[in-house]
Structure 1
């Protein structure tokens, strides 16, 4: 294998999951390939029980590996690079990506699945992403099909996926529940300095930690700079907050970046649109980027717990 083979598989029972995953892993072990499992606790237990002890499978806790999309990409790239430099000619990974059916914010994980095709393209990796049809909603499954070039069948077949489409998935983020109230701050075409000052004043009444307060000010400054530099005026800045969480949204009339890697991998090609967005993805509790009737919006959430706080999802973002 000379590059990333990105494959999905849909299953509807524990037996179906094991029928897909166990042969995939056993074939890797027999071939002496670095073999990785990054699944939720339940499926990790199923696999470890089926495979038994004494094998060289590397188990990564799914909740840690898939805490943020940018973190997941960085961790995998380091792991793949390490094994490639050690002489591995192929690696296998079965990774269980979180989605709204298990309480995660899906839109940024949908972007992750699209970005993986480029982010891991240089590595000889066979990546299998299984999705449980008992928990994954229809919109998630539609994005899964759209973002995976290959699909595995229950009978052990592996084929090109006719539903695969290049580019960004269709999922967009619904407004945060805090946005149901009037914003505490609303500015049109402000300077980054004016935004930092306004945000600093607005968050004084919150119980944010010092680190979270710093993250909010940085995020607000970064996304307004990005909107003013790369967007189309007018650029609208808004901030909402409760006692422990802050949501910032910046909307401009442009279409936003078309690159699925934007914000998910570091780049210095365009500092504010590349490296800055990546830092946001590594520090904020949630980041969304998408288009609607008002234009292109970057939205970030920092602090508190997000369980039940977003329209259209009842789960929480696991940091």
Structure 2
């Protein structure tokens, strides 16, 4: 049986809570957490250290409240949904009828578009579970325009006295359908390392391998390539030409954008809900991706910036192997010379036929 304000509610009871001081935070959430423990419900805090430390200090010792690593749980929206759905399913399988969670979604301008969509879709993504979630937002540091989105993505607000009030501007579907073009990464102010027009996926992989510059560790770069593969594949298979792939490289991170001529995903939850296939694998792989859901020619951006990653070195000394699809290079014949311009440098490539490639590709020789 469910308890508290969610007693008569089926599914996800999703609320936002604003606070303007540490005292207000503790005043609102300590009773919520202790009531959950007292009724035998799994009661969790998933927040960054600032919020977690305030609540730990305000709770009695051995309170029974569980603390999850918020930085890990809120690393990427698709990863967050996958982790919570797994956790909630486990609690339900054990027979619990309600789970209480205090969460802290990153409310930062650079990534808010991802998290606004997250807040909008979890009303559906978690609705099969008896979860009572309270999302905390610090009004001292959260921009007003983000707070406006919070009101549009949360059905209700939790007050400090334990009461709840409906959000008059709640409209998650409208937010998901807006033409939101993500803000450009600062690296994009300069020229890209390369720009590829209508490449195939193998070509993009090899171009990344040749020009990532050792910014990421070998393991991190492998994951990054998977994310770029997924985004590029979706642009080729589900978008419209031209498909353009660009790479920017900083001292500690990479930014790739993939743009096509299509109108964007028709499903506004693409990349977040398990049923939405578009870009799901790329998002779930741990690399952030963003796009405008309805804006034509809006880029999907994939960025990799793991902190403290040691420089990677490409094993061996052979140059990268590029396979060029014969369907796009109809006039190229085996033994001819191609010139590919990368970052202002023309690279001559001798070609040979690769009959094992499904489209009869031309594989540059050495």
Could you say which TM-score interval applies, normalised by the shorter chain? 0.7 to 0.9
C-alpha distance in structure 2 between counterparts of 1:192 and 1:182, whole Å: 22
Deviation string for 1:161-188 (max 9, x for gaps)? 1111123456642111111111222122
Distance 1:28 1:249, change over 3 A: same
Q: TM-score, normalised by structure 1?
A: 0.84
The answer for the alignment partner of 2:324 in structure 1 is none
Deviation string for 1:32-90 (max 9, x for gaps)? 21111112223222222322023321111222222222222222112111111111111
The answer for the alignment partner of 2:12 in structure 1 is 4
2:34–2:63 CA contact under 8 A, matched in 1: no
Deviation string for 1:201-247 (max 9, x for gaps)? 222x3343212332333333221211122223322221112354221
C-alpha distance in structure 2 between counterparts of 1:133 and 1:149, whole Å: 19
C-alpha distance in structure 2 between counterparts of 1:237 and 1:47, whole Å: 45
C-alpha distance in structure 1 between counterparts of 2:224 and 2:48, whole Å: 30
C-alpha distance in structure 1 between counterparts of 2:10 and 2:293, whole Å: 35
The answer for the alignment partner of 1:278 in structure 2 is 280
The answer for the alignment partner of 1:110 in structure 2 is 116
Q: Does residue 1:21 correspond to 2:29, yes or no? A: yes
2:153–2:172 CA contact under 8 A, matched in 1: yes
- Secondary structure in 1 matching 2:172: coil
Tell me by how many angstroms 1:124 deviates.
0.5
> What number of residue pairs does the alignment pair up?
297
C-alpha distance in structure 1 between counterparts of 2:182 and 2:55, whole Å: 33
C-alpha distance in structure 1 between counterparts of 2:50 and 2:194, whole Å: 44
Structure 1: runs of 5 or more not aligned: 307-319
Structure-to-structure mapping, 1:40-59, within 5 angstroms: 40-59=48-67
The answer for the alignment partner of 2:73 in structure 1 is 65
The answer for the alignment partner of 2:197 in structure 1 is 188
**Worse-matched range after superposition: 249-258 or 141-150:** 249-258
- Secondary structure in 1 matching 2:299: strand
Q: Does residue 1:122 correspond to 2:128, yes or no? A: yes
1:284–1:300 CA contact under 8 A, matched in 2: no
Deviation string for 1:92-118 (max 9, x for gaps)? 1111111217xx732222222112112
Q: Does residue 1:220 correspond to 2:228, yes or no? A: yes
C-alpha distance in structure 2 between counterparts of 1:262 and 1:25, whole Å: 33
The ranges of structure 1 where at least 4 consecutive aligned residues each deviate by more than 3 angstroms after the TM superposition are: 168-172, 258-261, 282-285, 291-294, 303-306
Distance 1:45 1:122, change over 3 A: same
2:224–2:287 CA contact under 8 A, matched in 1: no
Q: Does residue 1:133 correspond to 2:139, yes or no? A: yes
> Relative contact order: is structure 1 or structure 2 higher (C-alpha 8 Å, sep ≥ 6)?
1
Tell me by how many angstroms 1:293 deviates.
6.7
- Secondary structure in 2 matching 1:247: strand
More helix by share: 1
The answer for the alignment partner of 1:300 in structure 2 is 302
Structure 2: runs of 5 or more not aligned: 1-8, 309-366
Tell me by how many angstroms 1:259 deviates.
3.5
Tell me by how many angstroms 1:266 deviates.
4.1
Q: Of the two, which has the highest radius of gyration?
A: 2
